[in-house]
Structure 1
Amino acid sequence: MVSVTIATDFTFDDFIEWYPENSTTRYELHDGEIVEMPNPTGKHSKVAGFVLSKLILEIARLGLPYFIPTECVVRSSDARSGYKPDVIVLDENAIADDPRWDKESVITQGSSVRLIVEVVSTNWADDYARRLEEYESLGIAEYWIVDYLGLGGKRFIGSPKMPTVSVYQLIDGEYQVKQFRGSERIESPTFSELTLTVEQLVQAGA
């Protein structure tokens, strides 16, 4: 399934005001266009949930001042787009300075975010291009692309294509990437003691 554009020429504020309350359909704003996002497959949801559970356990184990909300929208730096990540880790201390969080669950400052995780679906180009560029521009410190089926283009994950987790770290305003496959432990700048391999994610999505 692919995303479907349902409205155009919307500002971010228009999008937030328009968003249906208690909607079971997920919408995002892409360069002024409201897009209905395809429902995730069961396997996609299972992998995202597995990552979320691992991060929650690590936050609790180390007593870190982070939390993972059930809902939020990340506003792009130019306020033309709004994204709903699969998993987002927020900083309890920094979020207090994000002006739209308390009333709208809107993230406007990259400093509020410790980590965003996107699990790749058939519309993989969004994760490797659009979101990557937007998260970098906003100053998101760490961004994972969990490509547990090896769907991404060869220019992103190499050849032969295989399940890959790409960890992007913001260094001097630009993303630098490390990629992990198979039994390699995923190295996270935010969660340096995290014990998680690509194989575990593949098994979660089996």
Structure 2
Amino acid sequence: MLGPVTTSDPLLTDRTPLPDGLDARLRDHLTFLIEVDKLKTVLRASPLAAADRRENDAEHSWHLALMVMVLAEYADEPIDVGHTIKLVVVHDLVEIYAGDTPIYDTEAGVTQVEREEAAAERLFGLLPADAGVALRALWDEFEARETPEARFAKAMDRLQPLLLNWMAQGGTWRTPGVTADDVRARKAVIGEASKALWDAGRHLIDEGERRGWARQV
């Protein structure tokens, strides 16, 4: 199980401090932007389609942003594409400190909310107060899924690894103990934003089960 967020871990800028003479507000912005470079080191469970390795969180977030642009026409409700892109770009930043919680890891899921809340406090607190509040609001909106944009953003977050697992001929669907019904249950949130995309996603899962890429029982 993933442990608690370590708030005493050094910032990247502690290694090479920014020079004196910078505007204080700009210094905070730059400190945050350097710190989030850590997102590139957070590995996810999903395999890449184009290479024999796992994807990282930064790659995942970029892919979601592009998916929002390409698939917005399939949203059941009108969405602000630009705002939805903001949501998917911000949604995994907390994993810099909280770590990725694989969707089928029920043990790690027990502490996920606690870890991510603590991570959000620390990470967004690096920014000037108003900027930190604004980014935190985007993260909270994504988590709450109360707006059309947040529901579509969450749908992309579930659809993207589904596509990667299809390309891997199972991928994390082959996690011990996980069945095709478990996959369907975890991915059903796609249907809250797009019937068309969930129909397609369910078709991929059904076909994956037929081919033996996901367990039936």
Fold in common (TM above 0.5)? no
Query: TM-score, normalized by length of structure 1?
Result: 0.37
Query: TM-score, normalized by length of structure 2?
Result: 0.36
Q: Kindly indicate whether structure 1 or structure 2 has the higher relative contact order, using CA contacts under 8 Å at least 6 residues apart.
A: 2
